Amino acid sequence: AQSVTQLGSHVSVSEGALVLLRCNYSSSVPPYLFWYVQYPNQGLQLLLKYTSAATLVKGINGFEAEFKKSETSFHLTKPSAHMSDAAEYFCADFTGNQFYFGTGTSLTVIP
C-alpha cells in the first residue's frame, strides 16, 4: 500500500530560485519520514529524516523539510537552487514493517 504521495513528477526552477518538492503521507501513526536524492546512474542518498524530535529538519546540501501533522505533509525546500541540485528526489515513509517510497520528482535547474 502506497503511503506517500509526491505531487509533481517533474519540477523546473531557475538557478537561485526556491526549490519546493511536495510529499504527503497517509500513515495514521507517528511516521518516520525521509527524503532521498538520486543523481544520474547512482543509488539513493539520504538527504534528511524526520523521527519526531523536531518538526523542521535540516539536511545536507542546504535542504530542509517541515513536518506538518495537520496537513500530513513533509515538503522539501531549499532557498536557492544550484545547478548541482538537478536530480531525482524521493520521499519515503516507514510504516508497519517496511519502507514505502514515493514515485519520485525529477528536479531540473535552469541556468
Partner 1 sequence: DVKVTQSSRYLVKRTGEKVFLECVQDMDHENMFWYRQDPGLGLRLIYFSYDVKMKEKGDIPEGYSVSREKKERFSLILESASTNQTSMYLCASSWSPSYEQYFGPGTRLTVT
**Which residues bind to partner 1, rule: CB under 8 A?**
9, 32, 34, 36, 41-46, 49, 90, 94, 97-99, 101-104
Give the nearest distance from C-beta 94 to partner 1 in angstroms.
5
Residues 6+ apart with CB under 8 A from 55: 66, 67, 68
Give the nearest distance from C-beta 90 to partner 1 in angstroms.
6
Give the nearest distance from C-beta 71 to partner 1 in angstroms.
22
Residue number with CB closer to partner 1 (34 or 63)? 34
Give the nearest distance from C-beta 17 to partner 1 in angstroms.
26
Half-sphere exposure for 3 (CA within 13 Å, toward CB): 19
Task: Determine whether 94 is exposed, middle or buried from the number of CB atoms within 10 Å of its CB (0-12, 13-18, 19+).
Answer: middle
Residue number with CB closer to partner 1 (85 or 88)? 88
Q: Rounded to whole angstroms, how far apart are CA atoms 64 and 27?
A: 21
Residue number with CB closer to partner 1 (36 or 73)? 36
In the numeric block, which cell numbers belong to residue 10? 517533474
